[in-house]
Each structure stands twice: as structure tokens, then as C-alpha cells.
Structure 1
Amino acid sequence: MADNTPQHRISGSSQYATVSFHKSDTIRLLCFPDDIKSKVEALIASAWPPGVQATGKCDEAYQFKLKGKPWGYFGSQDAVGGIRLLRDILALLYDQSWELVTSTMCSRRYTAKDTIVFKKCLPPSSALPAQPVEWLALAMASSDKIRIVYDAQNGKRPGLEVDHDHLGVIIMNVKKMLQSLDFFEKGDWTHDSFEFKLKGRPWRSRGEASVKMRLMVLKLLEAMELMGWRVYGTVLQRAGSDEDRMMDTWYFVRTRPGDQEVTSQS
């Protein structure tokens, strides 16, 4: 009889683990090993300026209660900081060979947010190191806004020149796409990120207008792909209400040409 036992089972820890978001200020890790908990705690301390209020067990999970409201209102500095914080957590887990499987809603409460499921992968061999990637987030909110959160320093490897102009390229190409569909109204910097205000209320549209909105989403993905970005995952990380549902934040990754050259030479 054939032995169908998986050969990649992780000794001493679960093969699957979750990161979940609660209230406006809490992160819970479930079934991650202790070294990942320690790394996440150190990352929060450096990436979330307000700091940590408390840590401890919550049944089988380990939770961090943060100062401030990283999962709060879209138009606040805390919420933009929360996007950067989650981006950095995703990047940390990616580097530690924890692959995002899916994000899922496990509750019917209107204040509920996503749970992100991760799978532990076999670490890359030293002969073929994992490709380094950089990260970008697109957040859709209100009835007419798209926010771009991107830091040129993020994902930088030693010896590589930072592409300071890339955010300008992203803004220009997204603006052209929005203009082509007559959605662009204006764009400006706010909360250390770039925000587009769209014509009409596309995130509340119905009927034929909702078809045009979905076409815009497809064109947005095409524009990002042409610049080398792919969707890594989407996460509902902010609470809504009975009358006003929140929208996903999209997290993108890309391997820059310079990173590929350095990797191939190493």
C-alpha cells in the first residue's frame, strides 16, 4: 500500500496558521511557532510608532493590543499606518516562508474583519534563494476613493539603488486609466500616501454603473501588472456598520529588475 503521508509536515507546529484582526486595535496569531511571535512583536515595536499596549494569550491564540487604532477609520493617519503595518507583517511572513493561502470572513458581526490563513512552505534552498520583493497597497474606501500606499525604501536590498521615481509612475498610469474611463476627479497627498477622488460614487453604484465600476477594477489590475505588480492578497482590515460596509485593501508585490540582476549574480 502506498504511503500517502505528506512529507512536508512541520514538526512541532501546525502547517497552517492565521493572523486575525479584532476591534480597532488588536492582532491575534494562531498556531504560529514562538519564533514567529517574537519576530512579529519586534516588527510591531519598530513599525507602529504608537506602540503596544498589552500582549498575552487569548485561548490558543497570542494577541497584541496596540495603542491607537490601526484598523480604524479610512481617513485617519492611524488607518494608513495600519496598512503599512499589515504590509510589513505580510513581508515578514513571506520572508519566513509562510505563504498567504486566503483571507476569509469567519463572523457575521458587522464589526468583523478578515482572518488571513497562511501555510508553512519548505524554505528555499541556499542555491536558489527566494526572489526578494517589494510591496504596495491599494485601499478603496468611502464611495469614491482609492489610496496608494507605497514606500520606495520598502524591500530594498543592500547595494541596490532605490527607485525614487516609481511612485510617480504608478500615480501617472493609474490617473491615465481613470481618465480613460472618465472616473478621475482629482488626486492629492494625504496621510503620507496618495489618494484619488473619483467622479460619481463608483463604490456605491448599481446596474450599468456597477458594470463600469468593475471594468475600472479590471483596468486597474491591468495597469498594475504592466508595471510589474501582482496581487498577493486582499484583506478586509477595517470594521464597518450595518449601513456602511468597508472594502478590501489590496496588497501587491513585485520583483524589481535590479533585484533580479543581483539575485542572478549571487
Structure 2
Amino acid sequence: MFSMSILSALHHHGWYLVMATDVSKKQEDKDLLIFRASIPPQSTSFFAVSFNERNKLRLIGAPYKVISAVQETIGTSRIQYEDWIYSETAYQFKLCGYPWTADGYETVTSRMIILDLLDCFTSLGWQLHASINMSTSYDGCHTDTWFFRRSNQ
């Protein structure tokens, strides 16, 4: 949530994210964020998507319309349970199986879920702002967090 607030504040003050890049070969390193200054944009909203543990998907700061669309996109047969976490600032889906550590054919299914989610967010007017490697999961695996933005106009 804190990272999303920082990205949102920088964007609202005219600092545009040019890229998130990994320029180090060190283990446990995180992405370098490169910004450029420009004219501040019109009012913009942000939310984040994180891929947690081996089978959890979190929507952080997402509007209810996005949560409902994700429920429909993933489908009830793929959702083991879902609930609000972190004082209702994030909505978490626990998916069936282990899509973030899948092997074989399950890898294809996991990637289809990812593509379906991107299509879902785009259809609601959200644009991918950044995909940033900023944390390490409980088992030492790295996963990116996606940040989406949409103009409020």
C-alpha cells in the first residue's frame, strides 16, 4: 500500500515513471525506478495487484467494480476463498492449486489467468503503470507487483 501511495503522489506531482529495471545481479535485489519530470496530469486513481505465496492474488486499493470483475474473470471454480485483509485495504483471492509455481500444462493455465486479468483491467479503463519487483515471498521467490492507473476524467 505504501509503494502505491508513493507512485501515486509522484505521478500527481508530474513525475512520470519511465521504467522499472533490474540492473544488479545480486540475489534479493529490487528494481530501480527511473522517473522524468513533466507537467502534472489530471486527477488519476491507482490500484495494485500482487501475487503472493504460491496461490494468492491481492487487489490493493482496488475499487469494488474491479474486484467484481476479477471474481467474474477468474471464475468461482478457480477461487478457493476470498476475503478482505489489512483493515479492508486489500482484497485477497486464494486460488485453487498453485498457479504462481505451476509446472507443465498448469503453467499455460496460469499465464492464461494473467492475460485474462490484464484484459479485464484494460476493459475497465485501467492502464498498467508499472510492474515492479519490490518484495520477496515467504519462500524466497521474487514476484512483481503491478500498479494500474486510470484518469478520473
TM-score (norm 1): 0.53
Matches within 5 A, 1:1-266: 84-121=1-38, 123=39, 130-150=41-61, 167-179=63-75, 182-192=77-87, 193-239=90-136, 244-256=140-152, 260=153
Instruction: Give RMSD over aligned pairs.
Output: 1.9
Contact 1:110/1:239 (8 A) holds in 2: no
The gaps in structure 2 that reach 5 residues or longer are none
Question: CA separation of 1:168/1:94 partners in 2, compared to 1, >3 Å: closer, same or farther?
Answer: closer
Question: CA separation of 1:240/1:140 partners in 2, compared to 1, >3 Å: closer, same or farther?
Answer: closer
What corresponds to 1:162 in structure 2? none
**Matching residue's letter, 1:191:** Y
1:195-251 Cα shifts (integer Å, max 9, x gaps): 00000000001221111111110100111112221110011111358x631211110
1:21-59 Cα shifts (integer Å, max 9, x gaps): xxxxxxxxxxxxxxxxxxxxxxxxxxxxxxxxxxxxxxx
Cα distance in 1 for partners of 2:114, 2:136 equals 22
Cα distance in 1 for partners of 2:43, 2:75 equals 33
The runs of at least 4 aligned residues of structure 1 exceeding 4 Å deviation read none
Cα distance in 1 for partners of 2:99, 2:135 equals 19
Deviation at 1:170, TM superposition (A): 1.7
1:92-122 Cα shifts (integer Å, max 9, x gaps): 221222211111112222221111111223x
Indicate the percent of aligned positions where both proteins have the same amino acid.
26
Contact 1:100/1:116 (8 A) holds in 2: yes
Contact 2:136/2:143 (8 A) holds in 1: no
User: Greater relative contact order: 1 or 2 (C-alpha under 8 angstroms, separation 6 or more)?
Assistant: 2
**Matching residue's letter, 1:205:** A
TM-score (norm 2): 0.89
Equivalenced residues, count: 151
Cα distance in 2 for partners of 1:253, 1:219 equals 18
**Matching residue's letter, 1:168:** Y
Higher-Rg member (1/2) = 1
Contact 2:129/2:148 (8 A) holds in 1: yes
Cα distance in 1 for partners of 2:48, 2:42 equals 19
Cα distance in 2 for partners of 1:85, 1:114 equals 16
Q: Comparing both structures, which one devotes a greater share of its residues to strand? A: 2
The gaps in structure 1 that reach 5 residues or longer are 1-83, 125-129, 152-166, 261-266
